[in-house]
Amino acid sequence: MPTEILMPALSPTMEEGTLAKWLVKEGDTIQSGDLIAEIETDKATMEFEAVDEGTVGKILIAEGSEGVKVNTPIAVLLEEGESADDITTAAAQPEAAAAADAGAAAASGGGSDAPAAPATPAPAAAAADGSRIFASPLARRIAADKGLDLSALSGSGPRGRIVKADVENASAAAPQAAAKPVAAAPAPAAAAPAGPSADMVAKMYETRSFEEVKLDGMRKTIAARLTEAKQTVPHFYLRRDIQLDALLKFRAQLNKQLETRGVKLSVNDFIIKAVALALQAVPDANAVWAGDRVLKMKASDVAVAVAIEGGLFTPVLQDSELKSLSALSAEMKDLAARARDRKLAPHEYQGGSFAISNLGMFGIDNFDAIVNPPHAGILAVGAGSKKPVVGADGELKVATVMSVTMSVDHRVIDGALGAQLLQAIVENLENPMVMLA
């Protein structure tokens, strides 16, 4: 039977995507590993490779289609000896089976007033040990109709794939193997509305002039994740002022020495290093929330928010505690540039245990950032500005002061532990030479 090519999950959190471009056309012969399409996720556009070999018999989803759910059939692949007629036949068989079932129900005296429910494909099956069962979509539908357990069948198709004949043979040999009907699960309670509906908002502003901006995948994901974070993560906030004069002086000296190498360190590079070392100094705070447990991380994987058109990325600098300031600077510049071009791979912006969001370059004095689960905290960094301060000797002086706010997930980090982490960050930034030790 023809093989359906399904919309892939290109990241662990991907639920739908945009089929941006087809790189093949109907009739093309492809091999395993060939690039066949470009898929746009919420964060990046990635190339999709073929898993099987064969001929592209039919493209089911046109390029440019948005909101294509993961595991939705997007094309049909024909194996040797198969033709386009097989695609039509395969599509017609479930409809014929449904019609036959309806006729049988009527003949046996079943009520005819209620409309017959449309046949739906069986969900992807899994064996008892959690491993995936490979079966054709038609085999899954027939097995669902007959109540057969796919995990009990052996496949005769390519690579052990369960096909129509395997299911029909099993049905004929062991009709008693039909699965027992399962009681329907109670319907979940309706969620409370999150605010005015789209129609209500449109009605509210119908007399005003406006431009409607369609939400792309990134904006939808940001809206969903941050709404969830603010509703489910118990935030608390810790604030400190940091004197930057020693750091600025030290940075100027380093940049002068690194000038011949084309390296120019930013204050943000020092902040990344300070956070990474602080997470090592306070290891209990280097953790993430995992639903029913806390995962204490060994390395300092620091995420840094990067603003792009229409949204933001948080690329992750792994093992930041082991890298030099110049290495962190170069890596951050590379990640930021590729983030703005939406060229980051999922593993480059997923993960991490702690994040940094710096709006100081926009003149923001201070702000409160939202924790991005499963991170346990995020440091919101404001601008450094000249302020009067009282020195250690009691005299009034002028210093460059930067205000920071650390937002913390109270499920992972308690107040005293959060204060220790923030203290370690402050000490690293006010004594920058210690970070090179």
Tokens of 326: 């110049």
Please, are residues 275 and 356 in contact by the beta-carbon 8 Å criterion?
A: yes
User: How many angstroms separate the CA atoms of 299 and 280, rounded?
Assistant: 8
User: How many angstroms separate the CA atoms of 207 and 36, rounded?
Assistant: 47
Q: Is residue 410 among the annotated active site residues?
A: yes
pLDDT of residue 433: 92
User: How many angstroms separate the CA atoms of 397 and 386, rounded?
Assistant: 10
pLDDT of residue 81: 65
Torsion region of 334: left, alpha or beta (phi above 0 gives left; psi -120 to 50 gives alpha): alpha
Task: Choose, from 235, 347, 375, 410, the residue flagged as catalytic.
Answer: 410
pLDDT of residue 168: 74
pLDDT of residue 216: 79
pLDDT of residue 218: 79
Distance of CA 311 to the CA centre of its chain: 14
Helix (H, G, I), strand (E, B) or coil at 147: coil
Helix (H, G, I), strand (E, B) or coil at 277: helix
Long-range contacts of 119-125 (CB under 8 A, 24+ apart): 119/94, 119/95, 119/145, 124/71, 125/150, 125/151
User: How many angstroms separate the CA atoms of 309 and 339, rounded?
Assistant: 10
User: How many angstroms separate the CA atoms of 94 and 145, rounded?
Assistant: 10
Average pLDDT by stretches of 10, the chain with 437 residues:
83 82 90 88 80 87 89 86 60 40 40 41 46 64 76 68 74 49 48 68 85 82 87 95 96 94 94 97 96 95 92 94 95 94 88 95 94 95 94 90 97 97 97 90
User: How many angstroms separate the CA atoms of 302 and 353, rounded?
Assistant: 7
- For residue 54, give the DSSP letter: E
Strands 311-313 and 316-317: unpaired
